[in-house]
Amino acid sequence: MSRIAESLIPEARLTDLNREEMSRYSRHLLLPEVGLEGQKRLKASRVLIVGTGGLGAPLALYLAAAGVGVIGLADFDTVEVSNLQRQIIHSQRDVDRPKVASAQDRLKSLNPQLKVVTYNLRLTSDNALSILKEYDVVADGTDNFPTRYLLNDACVFLGRPLVYGSIYQFEGQASVFQAGRGPCYRCLFPTPPSPGLSPSCGEAGVMGVLPGIIGCIQAAETIKLILGGAETLAGRLLLFDAWLMKFTELSIERDPACPVCGEQPTITELIDYEHFCGLNREETGPPVESLTALELKARLDRGDQLQIIDIREPHERAVFKFPGGRAMPFGQIIRRKEEFDPSVDAVFICKVGQRSLFAIRSLREAGYQGRLFNLKDGLNSWARDVDPSLPQY
């Protein structure tokens, strides 16, 4: 199947460029692959960017600069200081503002002729179709599996191309999923990983420039889809390792048994994606007990005997050490379980309280009988609620 894409923009929507636009986009007009006709297509196009973080920032900036006529921004988060290391669409003065508002201001300052539509909300099965249907291309700048599967399924149902990108530490991926012209996201990843096996940037970290590189690749693919006449990443998965500075390309095929885009689809409407990704399934066994930072401090202040197990990696503990914590990285928990004293309560700590939760569940499955507590919201909550002199990293 040919991957040469035809333009998504119908001739009836094209309008002339004004004098200012001719000047602004002059370097595009000099390219025979773009030219006047292509720039008109960009002007007539409508692109929805889901997520205005690391990937969404370069995506939005370069599409705005390129002359895309309407950019939709969907995000429900606010700007945090830790975002600024990589989310270059925001600035220090935007901290605590809704990300879509901050991004809208930046895009309008870059290109006043651009129309920006903001959705300060979480995309769900209830609202996704009504929002996505207004756009020609959907670009995925998200960082969670429920939204990725939601976007994929919605784009298949609506016949919209989905420009995919993801990042992890020093590695990134990019592709184009376009129903009828190649595989969809489910063809590549039929099922999501078990919760906790794929940590977020907030837990695993990310090289600041990496989302810029992957986001720019997504922007290039989006522009090519709008212009037409180019070979896109449909049917190909582009892998990038920033540490080794190496690109790798894998061929991916449409799965005839895919439950969404296959020959006999079994998923014909949007589903509960939180449940599909295992985020709201009932836990087997007793629930994990937790302590807030203030509750842990109270127990320490009154001299309770506790085993405090710091499961962070050595480079994380270098940021700050927790007083009295025993260093035991997550990967060592099971083989070192004999070091625990079942008669003494154990409190597991990590950065945000997710890895420690899974460490406790792993210990239970391994047969440990002692009482286990999770520090709720992790050491960031300790730095916030108990000792503000410590960094929230």
- pLDDT of 357-380, one tens digit each? 989 998 999 999 999 999 999 999
pLDDT at 192: 86
Count of residues making up the chain = 393
| Phi, psi torsion values for 105, nearest 5 degrees | -60, -45
Q: Is there a catalytic annotation at residue 350?
A: yes
Q: Is there a catalytic annotation at residue 201?
A: yes
The tens digit of pLDDT for each residue in 131-148 reads 999 999 999 999 999 999
Task: Select 289-385's CATH number: 3.40.250.10, 3.40.50.720, 3.40.50.300, 3.50.30.30.
Answer: 3.40.250.10
Task: Select 4-276's CATH number: 3.40.50.720, 3.40.140.10, 3.30.565.10, 3.40.50.150.
Answer: 3.40.50.720
pLDDT at 316: 86
**Hey, how many other C-beta atoms are within 10 angstroms of the C-beta on 359?**
26
Average pLDDT for 91-113: 97
Mean pLDDT of the chain: 93
- Please say if the pLDDT value at position 188 is more than 90: yes
Sequence-distant (6+) residues with CB within 8 A of 154 are 128, 129, 132, 138, 160, 270
pLDDT at 317: 87
Q: Are 221 and 176 in contact (CB under 8 A)?
A: yes
End-to-end CA distance of the chain: 47
pLDDT at 199: 67
Q: For residue 59, which of 149, 137, 155 has the smallest C-alpha distance?
A: 137
Tokens 């996201």 belong to 185
Number of H helices and E strands in the chain, helices first, is 15, 15
Question: Residues spanned by CATH 3.40.250.10 within the chain?
Answer: 289-385
Mind giving me the DSSP string for 367-383? T--S-EEEETTHHHHHH
**Hey, how many other C-beta atoms are within 10 angstroms of the C-beta on 126?**
8
The tens digit of pLDDT for each residue in 35-69 reads 999 999 999 999 999 999 999 999 999 999 999 99
Distance CA(173)–CA(166), nearest Å, equals 5
Average pLDDT for 89-111: 97
Name the more confident of 158 and 192: 158
Please pick, among 155, 184, 187, 350, the residue that the annotation labels catalytic: 350
Identify the H or E element spanning 210. Answer: helix 210-227
Average pLDDT for 219-227: 97
Please pick, among 184, 201, 261, 277, the residue that the annotation labels catalytic: 201
pLDDT at 195: 66
pLDDT at 1: 40
pLDDT at 107: 98
**Confidence label for 289 from pLDDT (cuts 50, 70 and 90):** very high
pLDDT at 2: 43
Question: Residues spanned by CATH 3.40.50.720 within the chain?
Answer: 4-276
Average pLDDT for 239-262: 95
Query: Residue 4 in 3-state DSSP?
Result: strand
